Every structure is written in structure tokens, then in C-alpha cells.
Chain A
Amino acid sequence: MSIEELHFRDFRNIQEQVWNLVPSLNVLEGENAQGKTNFLEAVYFLANGRSFRGTEYAGLIRFGASETQLHGRWSHEGLESRLDMKILPEGREAKFQGKAIVRLAPVQAGLRVLVFTPDSSTLFRSPPQARRKYFDHAISVQRPAYATALSRYQRVLRQRNQLLEHGGDPTLEAAFDLQWAECALAVMKERESYLEEIRGPWRRRFRDLLGSEEALDFQWRGELTAVPNLETEALLKALDGVRREEKRRGRSLLGPQRDDLQVTFAGHPVKEVASQGQQRMLVIALKLAEADLFQAQSGKSPVFLLDDLGSELDARHQGLLLRILGALKAQTLLTTAQ
């Protein structure tokens, strides 16, 4: 799978640009502050419907323009796909193969775009919220059903919080508690099963990059993750324990919205024992493992966006990473300062 043509209009500082790409390595050279990262951001937006910098829609539209247009054409084994996206301040509109779509799941089933920027390295040093956001997205693109379960859980949570804040009759509270437990369970089980799936590839890719066999492990951590045989009854029982405090604070105090993915080296949290270089490799290994899952599921290779790789990796590791991507047959878009 590779992107053949990109056409961007009014994205950030890009007025209009057309790109024809080769299926292997594409290098974008230039001074800093020329918009190289903006180009990668636009490619990422096409496949993910959002910015990897967390920018709102309005911030992506070129100053003075009323909307952004992004067009992409890619092909797999001779079959062409085409995506036309519009970004408006209040939302985005997408047409896949000429037909309007709301969710990008059909696009993501064939076009997976993974990004590594200097900011990515901080993933395991950032607050838990950043990791939750990262994995919620990564799991959603790999398993569209997770996105459904998560949005339902978030809806239940908002309703339940409203009820806790303003108080309601106990029968009504019980109705929302039960739904909370069912939906929380669905989210937690799906996260756990994704972690099971990516654990092996993630360790393998880390070894490929560092050559060392650290006792690397990953776990979801939170108030409820240690509960054995987690089922709705156990969740409801845990809820009983915090009910008084929840009423006092007027919001939900338990659930996967508070969980964190913890990475350990030989049992110690990675942010305490791993060097910055190791943490960087951990993130790159994660992206490669995501690529492995996508390839195993779809038989297609993903597209990698590597921003300013020279500032992050020494020459030896840059070479190693590019060789791995070559072996994956992953199309790569790389920016570099001159």
C-alpha cells in the first residue's frame, strides 16, 4: 500500500501543494520553519481525522481562508482509493471513493499512517492522560468496535456525573450504575486484549532496535485493573466502596477513564530507570508493533511519517530504522534539516 498523490489547499501555511510520492522512501529537505512538519500533519490528518499536535480544526485552516481541502490517492495491488477531506472550523467532511462518510473506519481499514516526531519521545514521561489519549486512538483505528464501546462509555460517564453532581433518586442512580459497569467492562476488556495482542510485537521491535533483552513488560494500571475475574458484579461492588465520596465530590471516581498504561523494565517503571534514548526506542518500537498488527490484520503495509529524525536518532539508529521500514515495505515520508 502506498500513497501516490497528495493535494493540499489552505492547510496551516500551505497555500496549495501537489505531491507525487514514490512507494519507498520520500525525503523532504529544508530549513526549519518552512512547514515540513505541517506537510506531515496534513498527511496524518487525512488518515486519522485529527492532528498529531492536538490542534483544533479552526487552527489548521490557513489564516484568511474559510476551509482547508486535503485530497489523497493511494493504491494497493493496483486498486486505487481516493479520499477528499474538507476541514471547516466546526468540523470535517470526508468523501471516500466519492461517497460521504462520517467515521473514518473504512479509510483506516486500508490506509494506516503512523507518525514519529521529536514530541513523540515524551509519551512515557507525559501525564497519564496523554497515554490514554494515545492508546484510545491506536486501539480505535485497529479495532473500530473499541471506538463504539469507548464513546458509549463516555456518554454514560457524562450522564452519571451529571446525576452525581445534582443528586437523583436512588433507583435512577442504580440504573446508571449498572450501565456504567457494563460499559466500563467492555472498555477495559478491549484494552486488555489489545495489550495482549501488541505485547509480543512490541518487545520484539524493541529488541530489534536496541539489541538488548530488557525484561520489558506492560500493564494497564488503575483502581479496578487488579480486581480478579472482573465482571459487572465486581465493578458494582467496587462502586459501593466509593459511593459516599462520589456523592460528596459530585463525580465518578472509578473507571477506565483513570487507568494508565505502565511500562516496566525488570519491574521498575520505565520513566524512572530508562534513559531518554531507551524511552525514544520504546516509542518507535510501539509504532513498529502497531504496524505489525495492521499488517497481520490487513495484509497491507502502513505509511510512516518521520519528522526531523536527525534530531532524535544517531546515524546508526537512523540507518537501522530505515532498514526495518524497508523490510516492512512501509512507505516512508521523512523530513530533515539541510
Chain B
Amino acid sequence: MASPIDRVVHYLSQLPGIGEKTATRLTFFVLRQKPAFAKELAAALGDLHDKVSLCRRCQNLTEENPCRLCADPRRDPKTILVVESPQDLLAIERSQSYRGLYHILHGAISPLEGVGPDDLKISELLARLGSEGIQEVILATNPNVEGEATALYLLKILTPLGPRVTRLASGVPVGGGIEYLDPLTLRRALEGRQLFHSERSANRE
């Protein structure tokens, strides 16, 4: 059996962005703390798999099932926003601009990495459409090649099921400069151009 230091370094260095040097530094840091620190850390790590699971509705990471977002009666249960990862969900929640439900795919389609539709939580999404009376699905996968392919794929298989399927707009970032935008982004921004807010409300009256 390897020494306790080697074992901790071995596991830490498998974390993304952490090499053996950093892993060694972190290990010595833990050793310099009071013993309770290591015990608490170990207990917290142990709880991860025991206490955190996927929400049976939205597939988010949660301690309760269904998760707090799915159980919140103030949220609009007729709209689902589809994201690739829990981090994406957190970003949208931070923006406080969405009050519906979510669905997390846990990845995006990428033939190069061997990730196909069956490797994502797509069948779970289809099941929800059948049982929850969903009126709108908002596709909020990343605007890169893989996210875009996933959105186009979902668009094709969801549309026949009845809900309105929408895609997050893409275009000029707030605070960004037009001269640095690539042609594809500019093209989309132009195609998706909109009336000013004031004109929109004037038109409605």
C-alpha cells in the first residue's frame, strides 16, 4: 500500500486543472492544518455520493427529490429550459431572468468524443413532455458546434410532440464590440434583430 501522502496526491492529481505539483502542495497544506480539517473534508467528500443524486424530474444535482427548483410552486411548470450542465443552470439562476423549470442533459452530442443522444438525459426529457403538459421548451445549450448540434437534434425530435420549441437568441454581447465579432455571430445577430423596447410596446398598444 502506498503511503497516505502518495495516496492523496494520486487522487488529487486526477482532478481537472490539477497536476502532481499542485496536488502535492494541497496535500501538505492539509497536513499543516488541524486534524479536524482533514476529517471534515473526508466526511464531506464521502457524503457527496451518499447524499447527492440526480433529481428525478430535471436531472439536476440535489439532496432532495424532487429538487427544490422542481418543488417550488411559484415556478411556471409549463416551461422547461434545457441546459448542458448544472453550472449552466446556476448561471441562469444567478441572472434572475427565468422563472420556469429546467432540464439538464449532462453533456452535449459530440461524435468525436463518442457522445451520442443516448448518452444524454434526452429520454427523461421526452418522458416529461408526455406527462407534465409542457407548453414551451427553451433550448439553452452552448452556442458551440456540439451545443448547436444538440439543439438542432432536440428541435427535430421535440417539435412533433407539440410544445413550442425556442432557442436562446445569439448575437452581440452586452458590453461587447461589433468589430471583434465573427461573421457567423454577426449574421445571427442581424437575422435576429428586433424592434426597440419602446417601439415594441408602442406597437402593442
User: Which of B112, B152, B182, B187 sits near A174, CB closer than 8 Å?
Assistant: B152
Q: Is B77's beta carbon under 8 Å from chain A?
A: no
By the criterion CB–CB under 8 Å, are A182 and B149 in contact?
no
By the criterion CB–CB under 8 Å, are B156 and A171 in contact?
yes
**Which residues from chain A contact B181 at a C-beta distance below 8 Å?**
145
Q: Which of A172-200 contact B (CB under 8 A)?
A: 172, 174-176, 178-179, 182-183, 186, 189-190
User: Which of B153, B182, B186 sits near A172, CB closer than 8 Å?
Assistant: B153
Q: Which of A131-158 contact B (CB under 8 A)?
A: 144-146, 148-149, 152, 155-156, 158
User: Which of B145, B157, B180 sits near A156, CB closer than 8 Å?
Assistant: B145
Max count, chain A CB within 10 A of own CB: residue among B110, B111, B117: B111
Q: Which of B79-130 contact A (CB under 8 A)?
A: 109-112, 116-117
Q: Is A118's beta carbon under 8 Å from chain B?
A: no
By the criterion CB–CB under 8 Å, are A149 and B183 in contact?
yes
Interface residues on A, range: 20 to 34
Residue pairs across A and B with CB atoms within 8 Å: the count is: 67
**Which residues from chain A contact B180 at a C-beta distance below 8 Å?**
144-145
- Min CB distance A160 to B, Å, is 8
Given contacts A144-B180, A172-B117, A189-B183, is CB(A152)–CB(B145) below 8 Å?
Answer: yes
By the criterion CB–CB under 8 Å, are A171 and B111 in contact?
no
CA distance A176 to B181 in the complex (A): 23
Residue of B nearest to A183 (CB): B184
- Min CB distance B56 to A, Å, is 26
By the criterion CB–CB under 8 Å, are A171 and B153 in contact?
yes
**Which residues from chain A contact B110 at a C-beta distance below 8 Å?**
159
- Min CB distance B76 to A, Å, is 28
Q: Is A166's beta carbon under 8 Å from chain B?
A: yes
By the criterion CB–CB under 8 Å, are B183 and A159 in contact?
no
**Which residues from chain A contact B117 at a C-beta distance below 8 Å?**
169, 172
**Which residues from chain A contact B187 at a C-beta distance below 8 Å?**
186
Main secondary structure of the interface of A (DSSP, over half): helix
- Min CB distance B204 to A, Å, is 32
Q: Is B146's beta carbon under 8 Å from chain A?
A: yes
Given contacts A145-B183, A149-B183, A186-B187, is CB(A168)–CB(B111) below 8 Å?
Answer: yes
**Which residues from chain B contact A159 at a C-beta distance below 8 Å?**
110-112, 145-146, 149
CA distance A117 to B163 in the complex (A): 62
Given contacts A149-B182, A149-B184, A172-B116, is CB(A166)–CB(B145) below 8 Å?
Answer: no
By the criterion CB–CB under 8 Å, are B183 and A163 in contact?
no
By the criterion CB–CB under 8 Å, are B157 and A171 in contact?
yes
CA distance A172 to B182 in the complex (A): 26
**Which residues from chain B contact A152 at a C-beta distance below 8 Å?**
144-145, 182, 184
By the criterion CB–CB under 8 Å, are A176 and B149 in contact?
yes
User: Which of A145, A162, A176, A179 sits near B182, CB closer than 8 Å?
Assistant: A145
CA distance A155 to B156 in the complex (A): 22
Q: Is B136's beta carbon under 8 Å from chain A?
A: no
By the criterion CB–CB under 8 Å, are A172 and B184 in contact?
no
**Which residues from chain A contact B182 at a C-beta distance below 8 Å?**
145, 148-149, 152, 186
**Which residues from chain B contact A148 at a C-beta distance below 8 Å?**
182-184
- Min CB distance B63 to A, Å, is 35
**Which residues from chain A contact B150 at a C-beta distance below 8 Å?**
175
CA distance A168 to B152 in the complex (A): 15
Given contacts A168-B116, A172-B117, A175-B156, is CB(A155)–CB(B145) below 8 Å?
Answer: yes
By the criterion CB–CB under 8 Å, are B112 and A186 in contact?
no
**Which residues from chain A contact B183 at a C-beta distance below 8 Å?**
145-146, 148-149, 186, 189-190
Q: Per-position contact with B for A316-330: 1 when CB-CB < 8 Å, else 0?
A: 000000000000000
Residue of B nearest to A147 (CB): B182
Max count, chain A CB within 10 A of own CB: residue among B110, B112, B117, B149: B149
**Which residues from chain B contact A145 at a C-beta distance below 8 Å?**
180-183, 186
**11 pairs, A vs B, C-beta closer than 8 Å:** A145-B180, A145-B181, A149-B182, A152-B144, A155-B145, A172-B116, A175-B150, A179-B148, A179-B152, A182-B184, A186-B183
In the A-B complex, the 10 residue pairs with the closest CB atoms: A148-B182, A175-B152, A162-B111, A175-B153, A163-B111, A145-B182, A155-B145, A175-B149, A186-B183, A186-B184
Known A172-B117, A179-B149; 7 more pairs at CB < 8 Å: A159-B145, A168-B116, A169-B117, A172-B109, A172-B149, A175-B150, A179-B148
**Chain A residues in the interface with B (C-beta under 8 A):** 144-146, 148-149, 152, 155-156, 158-160, 162-163, 166, 168-169, 171-172, 174-176, 178-179, 182-183, 186, 189-190
